[in-house]
Amino acid sequence: MASSLKPFPKASLPVESIHTVRFFYGRDLAKLKKAGGFPTKLLERVEITNRAPAAHVTNPTGYDRTETYCFLNPGISTFALHSFLRKAVDFSTEKTRTFAIDLSGVDPTDAVRILNAVGNLTLLAAYEPTKFGLKASQEKKPKNLPAVVLLRSELPFARASEIFSIAQSQAEAANLVRLLSELPPNELTPALYLGRIRKLAKEWGATVEFFDRKALEKRGANGFLAVVRADPEGVYGIAKVSWKPRGRKSQRRIALVGKGLCFDTGGYNIKSGEHMFDMHRDMTGSALALATLGHLIRQETQDEIHIYLALAENLISASAYKPNEVVVASNGVSIEVVDTDAEGRMALSDTLVLACENKPDLIIDFATLTGATVRALDNRRAGVFSNRDHLRELAVQAGDAVGERLWGFPIGEDYWEGIHSEIADVRQCAVTNNCDHIYAATFLSSFVRPETPWIHVDLAAEAHKGGLGLSARDVTGFGVRLTEEILRRFEPLK
């Protein structure tokens, strides 16, 4: 299900169910108040400030036609633009059949951002989670997406249509992240998840290799295996999904790594009921890596891409791993276990080792890893770490550009003192919870080869009550646009 951008028709637009959205800069407001044909009384209460860099008025004009006038401060951030547009225009309304977008007078750079936002919003607003039982039987038919017509713009229509199409693919990927992460844990066990991964990979023309328990034992992947020890019969492992451009040499080799904990009880360091609820979403990092791959394939990326998904559950049994155990990961690094609820970094340790073996130009890993990042940033940004300072800054700038914001944190140096062990090479985490996000990233760096550029994203923004940016739902689908923009900006060192 997708929409498309259409040029202004030679014939008049249909009379019914039209919502025209016109964009202006804040500096044009005084002129418009004096101009005829505008809702002057409504415009009188519009004010643009640094704190409120955008404003709108909506004016019903009759015959089921509505016009919304959007006033933007020059230099408005992409995130502020996204938040404003989502609230100013209801792209989910079933009454509107056609949105007519007027970008006359908007400079091409802002026109690109607006068209990308509209292209995402029309699809994101149509998303509904999977329903079950009577809820499923009461489910309405899939919504028909509205038509989107470009009335006027300084952008050539072919370029505008391309931007809109890319945005629709981004939203399709974000909706896949939401769909997978909202499935109940009995509907997305690691075994069922693997089946979905294989099906999607086949549709995309990608290949799948699954490193099961036996293969991981052979590799000595004891960090990962410690986490799944509680359930010796479970289908757990690392799914590697690969794609190479057809008929041409790839430009770069990219690895995306995702934490795929389909449920997390905390293990012996058990979570409270309140904190265990929603732990079926602890696999969001893997869903993001998977969905991003699908989007990049649809865009005919020239990169060779491999994704590594750590599929596991953190359960409790007599055989579950315990604090104070020491296990040795597949690169020979010994780990002293401190907290069984820090299972994500254990599963990622051997997954990162595996990803490094393919000698990628860049690794990006995604994980709902620490509560410390949420405490530091709320659920409004994700935390980013890197073994290259310039890559951390590149990622922050990429996030600002696309409205999926990051905040950079340090790793290494004297932070190693917090995870020093007397009996192992490294502790899994500090005994106290102070700055655990930094300790977690520092720990993970033990499993990335020094010569491999690496970015770690701690997904604090995967859910935010009331929505975030372009998402009106609590589960945001955060990260697809971010990852694409990081890759667009990244240049391997020769």
C-beta contacts of 412-415 below 8 A and 24+ residues apart = 412/387, 412/442, 412/445, 415/439, 415/442
In the structure encoding, which two tokens stand for residue 362, read together? 């860049």
d(CA 102, CA 401): 23
* Residue 41 falls in the annotated catalytic set: no
CB 1 within 8 A of CB 126: yes
At 455, which amino acid appears?
Answer: I
Q: How far is CA 411 from CA 20, 201, 259, in A?
A: 49, 34, 20
How open is the CA angle 44-36-107, to the nearest 5 degrees? 80
State the catalytic residue, choosing from 271, 380, 388, 449.
271
* Residue 34 falls in the annotated catalytic set: no
CB 154 within 8 A of CB 287: no
CB 478 within 8 A of CB 468: yes
State the catalytic residue, choosing from 345, 381, 427, 473.
345
Q: What are phi and psi of 428, to 5 degrees?
A: -65, -35
d(CA 473, CA 466): 6
Torsion of CA 360, 220, 214, 307, to 10 degrees: -20
CB 362 within 8 A of CB 306: no
Annotated catalytic residues are 271, 345
